[in-house]
Amino acid sequence: MKIAIGADHRGYRLKEALIKYLKQNGHEVVDVGTDTDEVSVDYPDYAIPVAEMVAKGEADRGILICMTGVGMSITANKVDGIRAGLIYYPELTELARKHNNINVLCLPGGYMEKEKAFQAVELFLKTEFEGGRHERRLNKIADYEKRRCG
């Protein structure tokens, strides 16, 4: 699977660990940055490129990390077709995929241990969308996006 990943300075260390984890598990990774945790940067500069890659089909899924994950989630969800989910507990990832078909996983770099992040990513990549009543709900969101932008 091709994964786009990005982080601000507060998510940099977790991003680097996740890149290694993803590659070890056979995934192609596109790292949009940042390249250090020593310089303060702005999370939208990383959230937008990752979300756009996923929306355009240039990546299968996206992963974003900042201190709380909130800024990344807010920004990614501004891109049409993106369903970014902020996950603090790995167990919620499975439901977010099954019920909400999230295509961008947002993680709190300052509040999640590496092992928990690895669990969340594994569930994010292996869990399939259930469809059914959940698809009906997501279609309503997509219809709104079309009306708003069209």
For the beta sheet containing 28-31, the strands, ordered from the edge strand earlier in sequence to the opposite edge, are 28-31, 2-7, 61-66, 104-108, 84-86
- Per-residue pLDDT of 85-128, as tens digits, reads 999 999 999 999 999 999 999 999 999 999 999 999 999 999 99
Q: Which residues are known catalytic residues?
A: 66, 99
pTM: 0.96
DSSP 65: E
Domain boundaries, the chain: 2-149
* pLDDT score, position 129: 97
Side chain identity at residue 117, one-letter code? A
* pLDDT score, position 33: 95
pLDDT band at 148 (very low <50, low <70, confident <90, very high): confident
Cα separations (Å) of 92 from 57, 88, 134? 25, 8, 16
Q: Is the four-CA dihedral 56, 58, 60, 62 of positive or negative sign? A: negative
* pLDDT score, position 150: 62
Superfamily of domain 2-149: Sugar-phosphate isomerase, RpiB/LacA/LacB (3.40.1400.10)
Q: At which residue do the structure tokens 């890659």 appear?
A: 53
